[in-house]
Amino acid sequence: MAKEKNNQELMDKIVSLCKRRGFVFQSSEIYGGFPAVYDYGPMGVELENNIKKSWWEYMVQFREDIVGLDSAIFMHPKIWEASGHVSGFSDPLTECKSCHARFRVDHLLEEAGVQADEKMSEKEINDLFNKNIAKIKCPSCGKNKFTDAKKFNLLVKSNLGNFTEDWQKEPVYLRGETCQGIYVNYKNVLDSTRVKIPFGIAQIGKAFRNEITARQFVFRTREFEQMEMQYFTSPDKEMEEYEKLREYRWRYFTEYLGIKEENLKWHKHENLVFYAKEAYDIEYNFPFGFKELEGVHARGDYDLTQHSKFSGADLSYKDADSEEQYTPHIIESSVGVARILLALLTEAYTEEPERIVLKLKPALAPYKVAVFPLLKNKPELVKKAKEIYDTLKKHFSVAFDDRGNIGKRYYAQDEIGTPFCVTVDFDSLKDDTVTLRDRDTTKQQRVEVKLLTEHIKSAIINI
């Protein structure tokens, strides 16, 4: 197992690179910032898109038993009552009796090595808090007298479609998670496609939570993008499918994204919500220690049972072969785009004596290749470089750069993880070859222009 990094210096370097090279910006920066929200710059959006593409390939394209969905952010407010979010989706807040600083109880417990489930009741969390109080100290003043935990609801309210003054009495909500849109479309998908149980529905989309304490850069934010897959099974196959899903999701991170196994670990939830069968998180070794990257949970029949009860719709499933009728059980895989982005940057960030280089898997790199004319003031070199750029851009995201010297251009591309640089020089005009430079080895080779596309293609294929 890799050593926990707990490395504030590394974190600062990643945050600095993110701003310097256009990956992540603080929201509303010219207005002094808007807390716990971030914007993704030109490099960040490319990396995000590549992460989402990889997830979609792995979860939908490669699977004949999983289909996609894009449900709206706004939904009928009753959905959030059925799901338990209106009454139960909240963070437990406590105040230090000595210094009056406020903290999330589950975070204080986490520091003491105790895991609290986000869906625990106020009483359950207070019991757990009291049981472990001897291990907990106020992070601000070091004392350990706290007020009882009080729940603060995380749903973000809106007046969409409500034109009255007192809309707060009947608010609608910005979705707190994307999976509810999947549950309420389960029947539509079943009736409109050829899927039959077991099958899954995958979705990528924004979710919103009124987090009390946002922490650690893009790790915990109030607006974020989720990638969730809900898999519907018969009751007797739930745990068998769950084990398969856990293995599949582990392979996504290790084989498909190329994250080192030593930087990942399974974390089993000890305190399950009443309906859950089993819950594991995949944790990544972030600069601030091992923290949740993804949740893989077995949820029983809770979700469809609740929606059936609140909507009155029959959400049971009848097996065409066995004639058996049941409410499907659900196993889920849920991960945030930003957490993968932060994990990949942590994994890829490499300092060498002469340079900083992001050793991203080529398929994930914002640009696959950069094209340079050796000299900016030689029109014939610029023309040739533009021609190559125009050919390559039909296949990949390509950067074009003619500023400064070649060395500086290489370093700029290294910092954003571009796996290849192509330089057009005077020999190129004679023999139609270019210099192809490899990001990781910095080795250069002459390659025929007509072979460039295939050469790069073969290097960036993901499997």
Query: In terms of CB distance, is 93 or 459 closer to Zn ion?
Result: 93
Query: In terms of CB distance, is 96 or 365 closer to Zn ion?
Result: 96
Nearest C-alpha neighbor of 237 from the set 332, 328, 307: 328
Q: CA dist 393 to 363, 366, 387, 390, Å?
A: 15, 13, 10, 5
Is the separation of the CB atoms in 289 and 8 below 8 Å? no
Least CB distance to Zn ion at residue 97 (A): 8
Least CB distance to Zn ion at residue 107 (A): 14
Residues 126-155 contacting Zn ion, CB under 5 A = 138, 140-141
Least CB distance to Zn ion at residue 148 (A): 16
Largest CA distance in the chain: 79
Query: In terms of CB distance, is 137 or 359 closer to Zn ion?
Result: 137
d(CA 109, CA 146): 13
* Pairing outcome for strands 289-298 and 329-336: antiparallel
Query: In terms of CB distance, is 37 or 212 closer to Zn ion?
Result: 212
Least CB distance to Zn ion at residue 137 (A): 8
Residues 96-125 contacting Zn ion, CB under 5 A = 96, 98-99
Least CB distance to Zn ion at residue 145 (A): 8
Query: In terms of CB distance, is 99 or 313 closer to Zn ion?
Result: 99
* Tokens representing residue 363 in the block: 């398929």
Angle CA 139–346–279, to nearest 5: 65
**One character per residue 50-89, x = contact with Zn ion (rule: CB under 5 A):** ----------------------------------------
Could you tell me which stretch among 70-78, 92-100, 268-276, 320-328 binds Zn ion (CB under 5 A)? 92-100
Least CB distance to Zn ion at residue 143 (A): 5
Residues 196-235 contacting Zn ion, CB under 5 A = none
Q: Taking the CB of residue 143, how many other CB atoms lie within 10 A of it?
A: 12
Least CB distance to Zn ion at residue 436 (A): 59
Give, for 410, the enclosing helix (H) or strand (E).
helix 406-416
Query: In terms of CB distance, is 97 or 215 closer to Zn ion?
Result: 97
Q: Which residues contact 37 (CB under 8 A, 6 or more apart)?
A: 27, 28, 221, 222, 223
Backbone angles phi, psi at 104, to 5 degrees: -85, 125
Query: In terms of CB distance, is 137 or 376 closer to Zn ion?
Result: 137
Under the rule (CB under 5 A), what is the footprint of Zn ion? 96, 98-99, 138, 140-141
